[in-house]
Every structure is written in structure tokens, then in C-alpha cells.
Structure 1
Amino acid sequence: MTELIPTPLTPALLRGAVDTRSTQHGLLPLRLPEAALAQGHDDYLRLMASQATGVRLALRTAATVVELDVVATRTVFHGTPAGPPGLFELLVDGALTDEAAASGGASAGVNMATGAVTYSAGTAGTVRFEGLPGREKDIEIWLPHSEVTELIALRSDAPVQASPEAGKRVWLHHGSSISQGVDAAGPTRTWPAVAASRAGVELVNLGLNGNALLDPFTARTLRDTRAHLISVKIGINLVNTDLMRMRAFTPAVHGFLDTIREGHPDTPLLLVSPIHSPLVEDTPGPTAPDPGFPGLRFKTFGDPADTATGHLTLRTIRQELSRIATERMADDPRLHYLDGLDLYNEEDFATTPLPDLLHPDTAGHALIGERFARHAFAGHGPFASR
């Protein structure tokens, strides 16, 4: 057997991470900087920002075998069965060619009622890809989108270096668990990854499961991250958490957009409203798993009458985001608005349902990603190449 060559794991080999943390054994990609996590002071936020959706190793090599040692931390929600291990997906010159799961691993138990996270230590495992073309090529190893992946070691049967910048535009996106890709079958099959592939852009995905909450530190992260295109999808988490009323929502949206504009005054900025969800279209949150359903399905505990006192629903959020965008576009010609119902609507729910009433499955992600690419990147869309 050919002895494999070790390559030090450094941030230069990564795409899609905003920050990294050096650990006792390796390197941990992060999608919010440490300073933001300290201000968030929330176990669940830290877990979601450490999950690696959109993060990938980008390598130039002639290797036919590549091995990656990792500690993958799988999330287990109390009261629900553990899902399958997350997938590492291999792209060769942009084409998906293989997938694998890591052995070993740790776990993070989440109490959905309180947001408390309990970690259990685990062991490192190895992901191996072989039979790659024996020529110089660009490969990407996409990390699992719903797992924390601590990178321990990288080995190959030929030297490896960071892929050179390809001159692609960088698309920076922020949203909820739907943007992070919950329930997609693999990391390249989340809707932002689908849209980025269709459009030929570099994705930085700041989708944060349960944490698209208009936090100032998230806005500052968007402000300070290099990007040629920015989109912000707002709404569902604010309803699910019943976090604020309309009086707070409107200035919070303005402040969030103002902060982004401090660092990106002329960058195309797309404000996206929520996709359809029958659960909270006209009924406020909070939402939680339905205790009477065998499996995972969500239920809302709000009262439709409370919209009169400013409680948020998806419908009222869409109306207000549209109004805010129209008002701001008078002075900001590079700000644009996309109605989430153009991505997924009530008719789509009848043919491509949301299995738990909140999250699309892989087919839903494909539909949303293709429509986003068509609306944003094609023709006269706000992100189209000029």
C-alpha cells in the first residue's frame, strides 16, 4: 500500500468558513466569529454556528486517494430519534462524484424546550475517497451541513495545495434552519448550495438553525465578511420563538440592513421574506414539536387574534418586509426584495410538502434553490452578471 502524504490543515484550505478555532487535536471551522459567539452567550447558537453548512476543503492535487480524519459531532434532539450520520461529499472539478460518512464521532444532545446543549465525548473517524482521476484537478470535500466537524488530519497519495481563487463572485447568505439545510440529504443539496452551483458563485452560508433573529453581532459579521453579493432571509425564526412584536421588528430590520451597508455600501443586497408554512401563515408562535404526533412535526401555540396586538406571523412579516424594502429602495438602488412565496408557496406545499410543517426535504430544497437561482442570478435578476 502506498504511504500517504500528510498535509497540515490550515484555514487557507477552507472555503465557506468565517472563522476557525485551533483545538487540542486540529481545526474547527466556524460560521460566526468567536467575538459574536461570546456576545450571543447561547449554547444552541454556538452549536449551530459550529455546524459546517457550506464549508468545504478546496484542494488542487493529482492524488487518487484522499483521507480525512475528523471528529464529527452529531446533534440529537431530546425526544426524537437520532438521524443518520452526516455525509461528506466529494466534488471533482465541480462535479459530485462520491459521498461518505465518518466512523466514530461525538454527540450534542439538545433540549428543544430550553435550548440547553449537553456534549458527549467521542472518537475520531476517517473519511476516505479513492479512485480519483490521476491528473491535476480541483477537488472539494463538503463537510456535513448539520454536524460540527473538527478536522484532525489530511492525507493523500500526491501533494495537496489550496485551490487557487477561480475569480468567482462570493455570495454571502444569511437565514434560518431552512437556509442551513435541515432535512436536505447532503451538504451540496441544501437550497443555497443548489443555487450557488447553478449560478457558478462561491457560497458563504450563514444559515443558522433557530438563530436568524436579527442579532446585531450577525449583522456585524455580514458587514465584515468579504462578499460581492449578499442576501438576507428573515422571518420564520422570529415567529417560531415569538421573540418580538411588530413595534420592535420594523426598527430591528432597518438596523440590521444599516449595519450591513456600513461594510457593503454598494453591494447588491437582496432581502427575502419567508417561504410558505401553513403552520404559522396566520397564527403566531411560539412553535414546538407536536407532542401528540408520532415522529417529528411542529405545532404552534399562538392565537391568531394576537396579530391585532403586533404578534408576528409569516403573512404580516412579508407585508412589512415588502414595505420596508420599498421605502429603502428609494435611496438604495442596489437593495432588492424577493417574496418568499416566489420560492415556495401554498401550491408547492400540496405537491412537495414540508414533512414537519416547517422544513423542506431534499426535493423542496432543489425546488427552492433552482427558483432562487432563476429569480436572483438569471436575466435581469439583482445578482445577474452585468
Structure 2
Amino acid sequence: MDHSPGPTATPLTGALVRGALDLERTARGGLLPHRLPARARAQSGGDPQVAQAESQPSGVRVVFRTRATVVELDVLRTVVGYRGVPARPDGAYDLHVDGEPAGRATAGGGDLVTVDMSDGSQETVRGPVGTVRFDGLAGREKTVEIWLPYSETTELMALRTDAPVAPVAPDGRRVWLHHGSSISQGSAAESAATAWPALAAAAGGVELINLGLGGSALLDPFTARALRDTSADLLSVKIGINVVNHDLLRLRAFGPAVHGFLDTLREGHPATPLLVVSPILCPAQEETPGPAAPDIADGRVEFAALGDPAEAALGKLTLRTVREELARIVAERAVDDPALHYLDGRTLYGETDFAELPLPDRLHPGPAAHRRMGERFGAYAFGPEGPFAATP
């Protein structure tokens, strides 16, 4: 007769979830992590890109202490696909035990939203709850972290283990709050835990709150206020690529918008180390203004800049002009703000890197490039002379 204990269900609450700015109890009984607070979501005007990106839980983890050897997490995911484009791989759930990678799994089921990019129409097919399972864990007391996928909206439905779980008390690590584009969210990385900000956070020994918002790093005031109102010891913003590929602003408006964004951050973080990071190399938009658009051919998606390089002289933004403007603004502000710093994104991924590790879709770095960017940012920002160096 089997006398082993049966699974124990533990209610999913905010005490077990890290990296989210808001948690929504859904009509289906689940817990939906949000990376923007409700007020910011309301002020986005219902923009579907913002709604999709902020509900995809990059950097969000389910964290607890336990002796369990088996962990099961029920999730109801929402996957977005595009008509005529092969489906992306299922989002990865990375298991970390006492801070070290210990497994990876995926979840089945969930809702599938198919978008027709020719006219923007959508079709939704509902699916069942899926289960992520990890077994064979050591039976000792340990800290378990399950990193949720960066590419799928993830509703947490149930947590089961074969031993009791308890919340993890704060361990005194500094909190790093980062905002950027889809590259910061994790696009084309293997998983949220192997996206460059997560790898940099691990190298720096800090707690990450990742506000990378795919397609939505647009200097929005509601995002600035969300950053302002979030407690953090370290702060960084990666600005530029989305502004260019949306063709959102001209040079005249870009500088004041950056100043306003930074002013808002400083209202809540007046002396916090703040690092402004410009775009990594993207040859398609170095000298060519946006907008950028996906080009689908033979089942592959590649991005192309549709602007005219001659229009840069009239104030349309390119990555080159964005970097020049950001460097100028930070240098001027740093005279009165010694905790403000600038990093040229090409030091994370530049021409030599592009030759070795080209952008798979001409816009987003692949897994190996994410690893390289994480290592470089970690060495620079958290190094002895870096802007995020630990205080003695």
C-alpha cells in the first residue's frame, strides 16, 4: 500500500508572486499578474499592444519555501499567433532551486488568439487549463522559483505540492526596476529567466522587476508614473527603438518627452541610481526612419524600416539621432544629478556582435545574444565602478 502523502493545494496569493505590480482575481477564479498597475492600464486608452505586453509576465515568478519533491502549477495561458506565420514555441516555465536553474517545462491548453495582420481582425479559440509539473526535487528545505513565460498571458489557477509551502521572507537584496522594449521583455530569448535583464540581475545579485513592454516603450506618462510609484533601489530605462519603429515623434518632441519622462521618475526616485540605455545596434533603422513593419515570406517574419533616410534631415528619428540626443540630455542633466548615467546600447550588442550573431528577424536578438547582453550589462552596471555598484 502506498502511504506517501497526497498533493497539497496552496492558495495562490500575492505572498507567493514576485515581479508583478498588480494581481487581478479573474472571473475564472485565477490570479492574473499584471506588470502595469490598474491606473496605468486605464490610461493606455485600451491599446491592445500595451494590454498584451503588460499581461505577459516577463520576470514574474511564483516563489516559496518547501520540502516538496513534486510541484504542479495549473495555468490558463493566452497565446497570440499570426495568420500565415508558424506558431511560436510554447512559452517556457523555468524552475530555479535556491537560485540555480533546475528544470524547464511548458504548459498545454489555453486560449489561442489568431491575428490577421492584413486587417487587424482576431479569432479566439478557447482551450482548457494546462499543468506545469516538476518532479524529482530534493526533499530538503529549499527556495523554489517558477519563472513564468514572457510571451504568454498567464492566469495562475492552482498550486499543488507533496509537502507544505510557505512564503519567502525578503532577503535584503536590492531591487532593480527596469523598463524597455520587447528586447527587454525577452523577445527571441529562450525564456524569461534567460532574457538579458534576468541574466544581468542574477549576475548582480539583485531582485528584478521587469517592465519591458513589447512595442510599448514609448515614453508614455502612465508608464513613467508606474515607475515613479514603484519602490526600487536601482532604476534603468532603455529608450528609443519603439519610438523610431512606430515613427511616433520628431526630433523636436523627442527631447522634451525624454526630459518629462525622467522628471517624473525623479519625483519618486530623487537620488536612486538611474541608468539611461540607448538602443542596441539594429542596421535596418540606424539611418532609416520608421515606421517599421513585419514582412512575411515563406513563413518567416522579418522587420523592415519603411521611412526615407532623407527625411532624417527634417527631424524624423533614426537610431543614430536617438543615441545622440539621449547622450546629450543625460550629460546635461548629470551636472545636477550625479546619480544619472548613460550607456550606449551598442556596447551590449554592436557591429561585431551583429556579424557573429545576426538578428534573426532583423530586429530582435536571439538566445546567444541575450546571454551576451546580460553578461555585459551585469559586468558594467554591477561592477566595482558601475552605476549599480554595491555600496560598501
State the TM-score, normalizing by the size of structure 2.
0.96
- Note if 1:142 corresponds to 2:147: yes
Q: 2:309 matched to 1:304?
A: yes
Distance (whole Å) between structure 2 residues aligned to residue 221 and residue 228 of structure 1: 15
Q: How does 1:95-114 map to 2 (within 5 A)?
A: 95-112=100-117
Q: What is the aligned partner in structure 2 of residue 48 from structure 1?
A: 53
Contact 2:84 2:299 in 1 (8 A): no
Residue 28 of structure 1 aligns to which amino acid in structure 2? L
Q: Distance in 2 between matches of 1:349 and 1:200?
A: 29
- Supply the distance in 1 between the matched residues of 2:287 and 2:104 (Cα, whole angstroms): 40
* 3-state SS of paired residue (1:237): helix
Structure 2 match to 1:34:
38
1:171 to 164, 168, 176: 176
2:350 maps to which of 311, 333, 345: 345
1:9-28 matched pairs, under 5 angstroms? 9-24=12-27, 25-28=29-32
Aligned-partner SS, 1:318 = helix
Aligned equivalents of 1:343, 1:154: Cα separation in 2:
38
Amino acid at match of 2:343: L
- Residue 292 of structure 2 corresponds to 287
Could you tell me how far apart the structure 2 residues matched to 1:337 and 1:236 are?
Answer: 16
Structure 2 equivalent of residue 2 of structure 1: 5
Partner of residue 151 from structure 1, selected from 137, 153, 156: 156
CA-to-aligned-CA distance 1:96-117 (integer Å, 9 cap, x gap) = 1111111211123345567666
User: Which residue of structure 1 aligns with residue 196 of structure 2?
Assistant: 191
CA contact (8 A) 2:237 2:276 kept: yes
How many angstroms does 1:120 deviate by?
3.3
Q: 1:267 is matched with which residue?
A: 272
1:230-249 maps to which residues of 2 (within 5 A)?
230-249=235-254
Amino acid at match of 1:176: S
Q: 2:58 and 2:83 mapped to 1: Cα distance? A: 22
Partner in structure 1 of residue 378 of structure 2: 373
Question: How many Å separate the matches in 2 of 1:105 and 1:184?
Answer: 22
Query: 1:55 is aligned with what amino acid?
Result: V
Q: Distance in 1 between matches of 2:341 and 2:305?
A: 31
Looking at structure 2, the residues matched to 307 and 59 of structure 1 have their Cα atoms a distance apart, in angstroms, of 52
Q: How does 1:185-224 map to 2 (within 5 A)?
A: 185-224=190-229
Q: Superposition RMSD on alpha carbons, in Å?
A: 1.3
Please tell me the residue identity of whatever aligns with 2:167. A
Q: Secondary structure of 2:126's partner?
A: strand
Residue 179 of structure 1 aligns to a residue whose secondary structure is: helix
Cα deviation, residue 77, structure 1: 2.6
Q: Distance in 2 between matches of 1:6 and 1:291?
A: 45
Matched, 1:250 2:265: no
Q: Deviations over 1:152-183 (max 9, x none)?
A: 00011111111111110000000000000111
- Cross-structure match for 1:124: 129
Q: Quote the Cα distance in structure 2 between the aligned partners of 1:114 and 1:228.
A: 44
1:143–1:351 Cα change, 3 Å: same
Identity %: 59
Task: Look up the equivalent residue of 1:31 and give its one-letter code.
Answer: R
How far residue 74 of structure 1 moved from its aligned partner, in angstroms, is 1.3
Q: 1:122 to 1:158 in 2, by over 3 A?
A: same
Match of 1:360 among 346, 361, 365: 365
Cα drift, residue 283 of structure 1: 0.3
Instruction: Name the SS for the 2:284 alignment partner.
Output: coil
Go from structure 1 to structure 2 and tell me whether the alpha carbon gap of 1:294 and 1:127 turns closer, same or farther (over 3 Å shift): closer
**Selected match of 2:82 from 77, 85, 92:** 77
In structure 2, what residue type is equivalent to 1:237?
N
Check conservation: 2:75, 2:156, Cα contact below 8 A: yes
Offset of residue 79 of structure 1: 3.2
Residues 56-77 of structure 1 deviation map (CA, whole Å, 9 limit, x = unaligned): 0111111111111100111213
